[in-house]
Amino acid sequence: MVAQKHKTDVAVQRTGTTKKGFSITSFFAGIGVELKKVVWLSRREVGYLTVVVIIVAGVAGLVLGGVDRGFGMLVNNFFLGS
């Protein structure tokens, strides 16, 4: 319990605030600070990864569609006898 209290005290010392109050302005200021820390992808990386996601989603859709059609045919032929 003492170690946990020490960690909390250290966190309060670093940020200079406690969890007692909420300020909407400091909340949005904190968002701005965190967004400046983000390493954003380049335009080229975004385009490349978008194409990769579209291709993978298309292949997965085709595979799952084929499996669904196969099971549908299996049920129709063997269980329903049509």
Give me the residue spans of the domains in the chain: 1-38, 40-82
Q: What HEC string does the chain produce?
A: CHHHHHHHHHHHHHHCCCCCCCCHHHHHHHHHHHHHHCCCCCHHHHHHHHHHHHHHHHHHHHHHHHHHHHHHHHHHHHHCCC
User: pLDDT tens, position by position, for the chain (82 residues)?
Assistant: 555 555 555 555 555 555 667 899 999 999 999 999 999 999 999 999 999 999 999 999 999 999 999 999 999 998 887 6
pTM: predicted TM-score of the whole model, two decimal places = 0.55
